[in-house]
Structure 1
């Protein structure tokens, strides 16, 4: 349990593995060093001990020869000087003999010969050496001659020669034996070294296998879970489960948090949409309150509820309960409150939410057939419109309200206030209309009475004058009511405009949420691309496949985000179209190049033709036209398994134009048809498929993938281009999608749909300045120093690893302030990558400060941001950026930009 609680980062695992391997190598080195020391001692034995033994044998032999020679010289000459070597050798041989005895003490066989040498030497000295010298000194020549006739000393000398030869041979044999033993030990050492190498290698491979296995296993778990999420069509309830406690676990936790947040936001938006749909068409406040309580109370698990609406004016304003949820019998709850009175009144006065847990004595009880229970949690939520609280909603529950419930009510409150105000306004208008009708009827009655009495009261002029004045007052009052009705009408029109604005909240939310998804998606795409490329060959083919699946899924998610942005802009009615000349004759070849490989893979014949009478030039938005055709052809190939797919371009006839596009009856209209022999579409679903997120097979286990956005976007693009898409289809026989598209140059010159919405996807190829890019990476990237200013750790890790693989030196600053502090001490950077949205100091301020730096003012700066609005790009360039790229970053595109600016910098 203790080890499971300890966090083991990947770096620590690798360090532990290397430590164990180094430890094994250290033990091996210690063993080898010991064996080398033993070998060194053996060599020293041979080179010092044996040589010294041989030297001592030779010295003893030389001492004997010297004594014999010196003695003979003295015997012959009688000169005492000849005895000096004799006397010296007689002294030294014993010392050499004793030294030799100590050196060969461990060799009994050699020691025996040495003892014989010692005895023979001493015997020669005692029997031959000293006696002859004494005879010579005594001058006894006859004794000397008699001694030499027998010469017993010669036997000793001969015996010594035999002993010395035997001693040398024995020592030589001992040395040879020692050398053979040393050779045997060396062979054993070599075998031991090889065995040790095998053992160390096995241990190292085992350690690497265990550590890499623990890392790869967790990566596979994360990859498999992500694939499962993608395979079930985006099931956000799936969670990644990782048991390790390392960086991969942190990645899994972060992904789970993101999925949980997206799931919550998705649920909240779904509930908000249901409430907004529910309120449409309701003109009565009590009906609105009742529908609201019935719809929302189950969403927040409330068992009781009350709806209070503001009524009255000035000091008479009160919050009156007009609807209840799950009330029983004679409800003990209070029917109305003044502003600031009780929690209901205080909630309206402060315009804030109140949450009570475990109230001591709650008046209303939660009643069922078997129980009567006090609530455990009470929630009061204000409903405001333009800063004014219009209503207060009170919920009671047997369980505590969660933060998810509070967020849901907050989102609902933002939109519901408009509905409450609209209904109140409509009710006020109806009230005014009723009063006006009543006054009109009263006026008509009075007019008739005056006409009947006019003949009878002619003489009563004063009374007639008074009656006339009364009528004038009534007329003025009627005129005043008429003006009030006109004012109410204008207010209704204003309410309608605000209601249209509120309908855009969903589209704006989708756009903003798509921007926020680009930041984490950036690091996922970069890291998965690096893993799939596997330049260092550290991953298996299966693992490369996993990485490619992750990268492909990320790109699919990016495409889905772009589709959602297009759809949101279309729903908001704000999108820019660029009308230009389009070469119609190039369309068939472009489609063949795009879909030829798809047709070949599925084994389907694919033809693309254009009729001869078609005008070669069409004035329309070429990019949107290609997007429509690619969507139609993609669907055709996706839903066709046998038969063929065909693209045909022709001129629409007058009948088709009159029926479908009567406003362009005097203009040229193209009919571009995509025909397939696929599954076909039932008649009851032919209109449904043009709606967002809808397909023919709408079940969760449908056979064909996709989001259901393509046809919806294509239909809206066709409408914006003045055209229309018509479908003819028979189930199991195929479909024909025909795009009718007018030549806008002939219809209305220079037509363009205006917008306040910025294009989200900024094309660097169109808007960046790309002198000629350097194709050889080594010429400008390798060895360059890059300063990366980024606060998101995921992007820092992903971009840093990607740039280092190109042999770039990367330095990181966490925000603009850190960047400027770093540049105060270090200025040797070739290029700066600058994130825009950062804490402390953002990218705009930082770039302005760098452009005032005396050394770094001309250094290329490439801005990086997930918000890819055109206005943001203009701000970046105005703040000092050299160029701009949006997230998620395509690394090849980034490398190309870097080469351009590094090459330009070298040119400067």
Structure 2
């Protein structure tokens, strides 16, 4: 098996990276432990062994001094009590000596000095100590005095003391040398530690860079393909190619399958529309049959076709052949069938489609210039109108019919019965008209015969005939117009339904794409935010920058998803507007606060000019207005490298209002201009930049970035608000975008509310809790029940919540959540994911609200879908509040702060 074919999900990649880093740290810790143990052993040797040697040398010297002092005291006083120290030291010095001798056994010179000291001590005891004591006991004082005059005992003791001191100094110097060596080894150890730490850091960086690189690379591939699909005008033939074997590969495969299904549906709808348009102007069933077969047979790769129409006779119903495709002569195919006769009759009787493959020895043969070919597959399809079969179509092919062919025929069959009925109705009208003309001619002949009988009656008859003809023409004309209008209405209704269905496909696709992208993106943003905050100081500055790049890339992807959804809502006519009174004087402060840091960073001047005569209040959608201004200013700063960006607010010139907003001449209209000294826009490109995914040229995107959605959204928002955006620009001389925005009266607002772009209910967010209850005291110890099936989101959310000292319990799905609540309902808040297996969030919230102890507990719904009705559905199901994925943790903590404070207040 090739290594790249092995499936490694994102969690496995991250786990593998952590394992490798831990292994490196383990090796580092092992080496450090070994070196520290060695140092500790050497320190122990110095602190115990050397100290013991010093003490033994001191003890031996103390023993010698005691023996001399005790001996002199006894000789002087004759008191036996003075001999007790002498006797004790005489016994101790040898034991101390033996111990010291063992401790310096590894140093020959020290052992030699000790042997000399031993001889000196023993010599003093045998020649001076014991003889003097013996003479004193015998009370021979004269001999004692003579002994001391002849023997120089003091010099012997001083010599012994000097030898012991020399030995002690030698041991002290040896200890100093050992300490110096220990210091050198310690310096080497510190250098080794830093070197190993650097190597481990480099290894960890390489591991993190590789793991994150594999994840980001595949995400960029998905984003690029989706952007290409959107920027190519909705070309659904493109496919996402991902080489990694992880969740992003699953997402790409699911998206490709969805694109393929939508592509098939679009092709089917296109062919259905072509067949429907084909029937225009046809007033004969035979012509209709031939045209239908000629149009449809190549589409489904059929090489032969027959068309049978149902006709009623006096005694029976028969299916009569009225059209053929690629038939060799008029005798090809049976002329007619009774109901239930053959596959044609049985298909009509049962209203059932027959598909036969491998039709060996079929009587039908497909002729060409080279000979006859037997078909491989036969398809018999009934066509119904108002629940009754009106026709049967038979196709033969050299290849097997595909499921797409069957779906196409199924869609066509739904509407083609109406087409057949309309053509038959027109034929019936023509027949009745022809009979009416024959009857009129007969009536005219009878009138002429009676003319000879009465001239007066003839004149009256002629007048009556003229009136009758006029009325008949009027009636016929009215009947024809009525049928044409009815047909046109039905065709328009069919086309409208097709447009609705196509729009629904697109909305469903965008909603599913939003959900599938937001779910992994949620965990990426939360985990990268946690890494970026680096609360435990475990990341280096460079690693923090990597986390910032990951978090920024995730936010860019989220912005792209939101922009595409905004454009989709606008195209579908479902963008919700919130009408309120906007304080014009607050706009400059808001823009300065947002863009002064940008201007300072790029060393640009940012001027805001508000004319004095500007009305202080503007009645419009404030959120959309600010979004337009932010997009225009962002573009201005993006494409300006030196000079000035200017925001100017003034009353619009009446001539400009008459030119751009002629219907608003009687209203208050503001002109808000954004002027820059940037790269400008060539005149040939000034119109295309307002289209989605377009910029002035390819270099602009490569040099300055962006998706090309900003100006398109600005233009659409301006149109929804009843305004317009006008561009004045010269290449390399800067640009001026002017937004003409009207102020709506209450009456006009009511009219706009009745349009599809109606007013949206105000958000359900409460005001912030007071700056007196800190997060630490508010969040600490609060119990959170997290209901989430995606392990990536669970990991990210649990980490973020536990950092705030929440106590988190996790339920994998709605059923698991109810089991947990049944055992313990003591929770302060519930975080509920919506899209889950087994039991989704809506059903789970309804069940929770039935639990007596959970009726008032705050439930915050978490969903990766971002469609309009999601919020209302969540609130209706029992949610207290709503937040969409990817989660902004500060927004989530703000919601938790609001609802927990409200709980405390209650």
Q: Alpha carbons of 1:862 and 1:113: their partners in 2 closer, same or farther (altered >3 Å)?
A: closer
1:174 Cα deviation after fit:
4.0
Are 1:121 and 1:156, in contact at CA under 8 Å, matched by a contact in 2? no
Are 2:353 and 2:379, in contact at CA under 8 Å, matched by a contact in 1? no
Q: Does 1:208 align with 2:208?
A: no
CA offsets 1:274-302 (integer angstroms, 9 cap, x no match)? 324423432257777777777777777x4
1:470 maps to which residue?
none
Are 2:829 and 2:859, in contact at CA under 8 Å, matched by a contact in 1? yes
Larger deviation, residues 542-551 vs 383-392 = 383-392
1:851 maps to which residue?
849
2:832 maps to which residue?
834
CA offsets 1:800-821 (integer angstroms, 9 cap, x no match)? 6666676655543333222222
1:880 Cα deviation after fit:
3.0
2:44 maps to which residue?
40
CA offsets 1:242-261 (integer angstroms, 9 cap, x no match)? 6666xxx433x144235424
Three-state SS of the structure 2 residue aligned to 1:840 is: coil
Are 2:765 and 2:895, in contact at CA under 8 Å, matched by a contact in 1? no
Are 2:309 and 2:319, in contact at CA under 8 Å, matched by a contact in 1? yes
| 2:818 pairs with one of 810, 820, 845 | 820
Q: CA RMSD in A?
A: 6.9
Work out the CA distance in 2 between the residues paired with 1:183 and 1:545: 50
Three-state SS of the structure 1 residue aligned to 2:278 is: coil
Q: Alpha carbons of 1:496 and 1:299: their partners in 2 closer, same or farther (altered >3 Å)?
A: closer
CA offsets 1:772-810 (integer angstroms, 9 cap, x no match)? 555687378643443333445566566666666766555
1:40 Cα deviation after fit:
0.9
Q: Aligned pairs, how many?
A: 837
Q: Alpha carbons of 1:353 and 1:548: their partners in 2 closer, same or farther (altered >3 Å)?
A: farther
Three-state SS of the structure 1 residue aligned to 2:510 is: helix
Q: Does 1:551 align with 2:555?
A: yes
1:28 Cα deviation after fit:
1.1
1:194 maps to which residue?
190
Q: Identify unmatched segments of 5+ residues in structure 2.
A: 454-474, 535-540
1:552 Cα deviation after fit:
3.7
Mapping 1:29-178, distance limit 5 Å: 29-52=33-56, 55=59, 59=63, 106-112=106-112, 161=157, 164-165=160-161, 167-178=163-174
1:465 maps to which residue?
none
CA offsets 1:269-328 (integer angstroms, 9 cap, x no match)? 54245324423432257777777777777777x47575766745798575979555x888
Q: Does 1:899 align with 2:897?
A: yes
Three-state SS of the structure 2 residue aligned to 1:839 is: coil
Work out the CA distance in 1 between the residues paired with 2:193 and 2:573: 68
Work out the CA distance in 1 between the residues paired with 2:231 and 2:198: 45
Work out the CA distance in 2 between the residues paired with 1:432 and 1:10: 75
1:427 Cα deviation after fit:
1.7
| 1:20 pairs with one of 21, 24, 27 | 24
Q: Does 1:281 align with 2:277?
A: yes
| 1:510 pairs with one of 506, 511, 532 | 506
CA offsets 1:620-671 (integer angstroms, 9 cap, x no match)? 9868996999899999999x999999987577999999x998xx9xx96889
Three-state SS of the structure 2 residue aligned to 1:9 is: helix
1:419 maps to which residue?
415
1:217 Cα deviation after fit:
2.5
1:250 maps to which residue?
247
Are 2:695 and 2:701, in contact at CA under 8 Å, matched by a contact in 1? no
Q: Alpha carbons of 1:553 and 1:234: their partners in 2 closer, same or farther (altered >3 Å)?
A: farther
1:446 Cα deviation after fit:
5.0
Q: Alpha carbons of 1:34 and 1:636: their partners in 2 closer, same or farther (altered >3 Å)?
A: closer
Work out the CA distance in 2 between the residues paired with 1:331 and 1:548: 74
1:429 maps to which residue?
425
Are 1:383 and 1:393, in contact at CA under 8 Å, matched by a contact in 2? no
1:32 Cα deviation after fit:
1.1
Work out the CA distance in 1 between the residues paired with 2:506 and 2:17: 42
Q: Does 1:565 align with 2:569?
A: yes
Three-state SS of the structure 2 residue aligned to 1:906 is: helix
Q: Identify unmatched segments of 5+ residues in structure 1.
A: 458-478
Compute the TM-score of the two structures, normalised by the length of structure 2: 0.68
1:460 maps to which residue?
none
1:179 Cα deviation after fit:
0.9
Work out the CA distance in 2 between the residues paired with 1:736 and 1:64: 112
1:36 Cα deviation after fit:
0.9
Three-state SS of the structure 1 residue aligned to 2:850 is: coil
Are 1:519 and 1:888, in contact at CA under 8 Å, matched by a contact in 2? no
Three-state SS of the structure 1 residue aligned to 2:277 is: coil
Q: Alpha carbons of 1:196 and 1:512: their partners in 2 closer, same or farther (altered >3 Å)?
A: same
| 2:180 pairs with one of 162, 171, 184 | 184
Work out the CA distance in 1 between the residues paired with 2:525 and 2:803: 12
Three-state SS of the structure 2 residue aligned to 1:787 is: strand
Mapping 1:415-494, distance limit 5 Å: 415-445=411-441, 447=443
Q: Alpha carbons of 1:774 and 1:520: their partners in 2 closer, same or farther (altered >3 Å)?
A: farther
CA offsets 1:593-620 (integer angstroms, 9 cap, x no match)? 88998999999999999999xx9999x9
Work out the CA distance in 2 between the residues paired with 1:117 and 1:440: 158
Mapping 1:617-766, distance limit 5 Å: 649=652, 705-706=708-709, 751=751, 766=762
Work out the CA distance in 2 between the residues paired with 1:234 and 1:674: 30
Work out the CA distance in 2 between the residues paired with 1:809 and 1:673: 54
Are 1:63 and 1:93, in contact at CA under 8 Å, matched by a contact in 2? no
Work out the CA distance in 2 between the residues paired with 1:192 and 1:88: 49
Q: Alpha carbons of 1:655 and 1:172: their partners in 2 closer, same or farther (altered >3 Å)?
A: closer
CA offsets 1:747-773 (integer angstroms, 9 cap, x no match)? x99657768x897x955xx15263455
Work out the CA distance in 1 between the residues paired with 2:108 and 2:44: 26
CA offsets 1:193-220 (integer angstroms, 9 cap, x no match)? 2122122212221222211221342245
Q: Alpha carbons of 1:215 and 1:188: their partners in 2 closer, same or farther (altered >3 Å)?
A: same
Compute the TM-score of the two structures, normalised by the length of structure 1: 0.68
Work out the CA distance in 1 between the residues paired with 2:136 and 2:669: 150
Larger deviation, residues 504-513 vs 425-434 = 504-513
CA offsets 1:448-488 (integer angstroms, 9 cap, x no match)? 5666788999xxxxxxxxxxxxxxxxxxxxx9xx9999999
Three-state SS of the structure 2 residue aligned to 1:504 is: helix
Work out the CA distance in 1 between the residues paired with 2:292 and 2:216: 47
Three-state SS of the structure 1 residue aligned to 2:839 is: coil
1:778 maps to which residue?
775
Work out the CA distance in 2 between the residues paired with 1:360 and 1:266: 36
CA offsets 1:559-597 (integer angstroms, 9 cap, x no match)? 332332332238xxxx9999x8989xx889979988998
Three-state SS of the structure 1 residue aligned to 2:206 is: helix
Q: Alpha carbons of 1:296 and 1:157: their partners in 2 closer, same or farther (altered >3 Å)?
A: farther
